[in-house]
Chains A and B, each alone.
Chain A
Amino acid sequence: MTETQILSERKQSGPLARWFLMLWADKFAFFAALFLLLAVLCAIFGPYLFEAVAIKQNLRGRNAPPFDLARGWIYILGADALGRPLLARIVVAAQNTMLVAAAAVAVSSLVGAVLGLVAGYSRRSAAQWIMRLGDVIMSFPSLLLAVIVLYMLEPSVANIVVVLAITRIPIYLRTTRAEVLEVRERMFIQAAIVMGASHPRIVFRHILPVIFPTLVTIATLDFAFVMLAESSLSFLGIGIQAPEITWGLMVSQGRPYLTNAWWLSFWPGLAIILTTLSLNLLSNWIRIALDPTQRWRLEMGGRKNG
């Protein structure tokens, strides 16, 4: 079969099927996507299904070991120090973990991108101030910020999002500005200026679409980073506070029992590692799939002689 035949054959199927085939071509990315889908489903439906089980204490089953089905399948991963099943708690904690990361990435990318567009597009001193502000935020210790927010406001999920979002703004700010500086010198922008387009129109209709793919790629990777950052804060005790749960907090709660019940910290940590790994694998795939010069690697379906 020649190359053109394969390509025309692929074209006939719908765009959804084509994306699916491209995903199937990269097995790692495929399983990463499956796992992420599972995690998202847990985050959405988990609390409704398992909330009651996850907070029910059972002092007889304290630190019950994993792989023991005597108490029922929900105890397959063991139980924590109060006898609550770990599997249910991990599923329920997925919601907070995902929600915090998603919200933080959304806020920081929005604010950072807007500031970056302004800083890159205007030549005035405002740009200088924005960049210096970015430097200050970047070197401001995020731990101190977390403690300040924790003491000034309440230690709620929303406030952790604020802390994480602020610390990640400079990443988007710098990337956007660098890209804008390059794009604004291109011919089509000059043409738009000559034709009398207004500044907002140039920025949002002409510049933004060009830099958008870069922002999406960064946001995917940043999602993993923010998840790790939230886990670290919760682990240190200055993130999410006790009745709420996240995976990072579960790892920290299991730490005192490390010597006799390793599973308390192990499973939630494994959930974190699998999710971030999946995000990394998937963002790798997205980068190839969105790049027209690389996409053939996936469209060939991994066939060596295609």
Chain B
Amino acid sequence: MKSFISKRAIASGVSLVGLVVLVFFLSRLTGDPTDLYLPLDASMEMREQFREMHGFNDPLILQFGRYVADLAQFNFGQSLRQARPAMEVVLEAFSWTLWLALITMTCVTAAAIVIGSLAAFRVGGIFDRIATFFSLIGASAPDFWLAIVAIVIFAVNLHWLPTSGTGTAWHWILPVGVLFIRPFGLILQVVRGSMINVLSSAYVKTARAKGVRTPTIIFVHGLRNAMLPVVTVIGDQAAAILNGAVVVETVFGFPGIGKLMIDSILLRDFAVVLAVIMVSALAIFIMNLLIDLAYALLDPRIRY
């Protein structure tokens, strides 16, 4: 187990180093932040002073050397936009996104497993057809469109829910609801497919012949063995949200990591962009480990 984790950590670490180097140099290509931060009528001296203060005048390679030296002391640089340590800004946004991902994926998993299993129980039945059709629509819907339509219906016309921002529990309903739909469609399909395989296997027939009640067969005998491929997809989808549900967070003004990322990119807040990438990479590394642990837990034959 230990050697498995360390091998994983090395491979991820190598990729992360490559990524940070690449992002550092490529993001500098998108232009000088000076013009974005100083007023239009700022004098040449003020501009020069700004560049000098943030070190944009030095050669790129020197800037990179300084960044690496700072990293060695766990200093992730300053956010230009908020004049705070970049890591502080990122962790604050990350905690919002973490909650969003957690709530959404819990709802998605529960709903997809129950509905997918029931659909698999009678393949081709009316319930199966309805579930399959709606899950396909869900998997095809662009989230920005869903977000807009949801705002028009629930916030503008019905006045039930706030349009954007955070504060009360009501603010969470629309973002979670919109983020829910696509993963729900995908995971439902996988649960259904996997369940169909399991329910036609010999041990389920044995259980049925013994007279075990149907719910017990589906949710106790079947589900555990059908879960392996499902866990993989759940992991992928959770990773996508953790990486920043940029569109949904932007539309709903949700202060998560996706909105932070796009804002920082557009405003050339380089230190924050790099910090976001490192935090997301770590989060996804940890999540992949948890997924692998879940495999071992579900299937005792899997050892690391």
Q: Write the residues of chain A forming the contact surface with B, with a CB cutoff of 8 angstroms.
A: 28, 132, 135-136, 139-141, 143-144, 147-148, 151-152, 224, 228, 231-232, 235-236, 238, 248, 251-252, 255, 258-259, 262, 265-266, 269, 272-273, 276-277, 279-281
Contacts and interface: CB of A to CB of B under 8 A. Distances in A.
Given A140-B19, A143-B262, A236-B250, A272 B151 contact: no
B265 A147 contact: yes
A159 B249 CA distance: 26
Contact of A140 (B22, B136, B156): B22
A136 B15 contact: yes
A232 B182 CA distance: 14
Contacts of A281: 136
A235 B281 contact: no
Contacts of B149: 262, 265-266, 269
Contacts of B295: none
A101 B163 CA distance: 32
Nearest to B145: A269
A54 B246 CA distance: 31
B26 A148 contact: yes
B30 A148 contact: yes
B165 interface: no
Scoring A141, A265, A280, A281 by chain B CB atoms within 10 A of each residue's CB, the highest score goes to A141
Contacts of A272: 142, 145
A169 B109 CA distance: 29
A235 B247 contact: yes
B262 A236 contact: yes
A265 B142 contact: no
Contact of A273 (B30, B142, B151, B277): B142
Contacts of A265: 145, 148-149
Given A231-B142, A265-B145, A277-B136, A151 B31 contact: yes
Interface in B97-144: 133, 136-137, 139-144
A255 B148 contact: yes
A159 B246 CA distance: 21
A58 to B, nearest CB: 25
A259 B155 CA distance: 10
Contact of B142 (A141, A143, A238, A248): A248
Contacts of B276: 141
A196 to B, nearest CB: 37
The 9 closest A-B pairs by CB, nearest first: A269-B145, A276-B140, A135-B15, A277-B140, A151-B30, A235-B144, A136-B18, A262-B152, A228-B142
Interface in B11-43: 11, 14-16, 18-19, 22-23, 26-27, 29-31
Interface residues of B, number: 42
Given A143-B246, A235-B247, A251-B148, A280 B22 contact: no
A266 B27 CA distance: 35
A231 B143 CA distance: 10
B261 interface: yes
Given A141-B277, A258-B151, A236 B247 contact: yes
B137 A251 contact: no
Contacts of A279: 140
B20 to A, nearest CB: 10
A265 to B, nearest CB: 5
A232 B144 contact: yes
Contacts of A259: 152, 156
The dominant DSSP class at the B interface is helix
The dominant DSSP class at the A interface is helix
Contacts of B23: 140-141, 144
A251 B146 CA distance: 11
Contact of A258 (B141, B148, B265, B281): B148
A251 B143 CA distance: 11
A231 B266 contact: no
B273 interface: yes
Interface string B260-285: 01100110000001001100110010
Nearest to A28: B133
Given A148-B29, A152-B30, A265-B145, 9 more contacts: A132-B18, A139-B280, A140-B22, A141-B23, A141-B276, A143-B265, A147-B30, A273-B141, A277-B137
Nearest to B152: A262
24 contacts: A132-B15, A136-B22, A139-B280, A139-B281, A141-B277, A143-B246, A144-B27, A144-B265, A144-B273, A147-B30, A148-B26, A148-B27, A151-B30, A151-B31, A152-B29, A228-B142, A232-B144, A236-B250, A251-B144, A258-B151, A258-B152, A258-B156, A280-B139, A281-B136
Contacts of B151: 258
Contacts of B152: 258-259, 262
Nearest to A135: B15
Contacts of B139: 280
Given A148-B30, A258-B148, A139 B15 contact: yes
Contacts of B143: 232
Contacts of A251: 142, 144-145, 148
Nearest to A276: B140
Interface string B157-196: 0000000000000000000000000000000000000000
A232 B19 CA distance: 23
A4 B185 CA distance: 39
A139 B142 contact: no
B30 A232 contact: no
Contacts of B14: 132
Given A144-B265, A258-B156, A265-B148, A232 B142 contact: yes
A259 B30 CA distance: 35
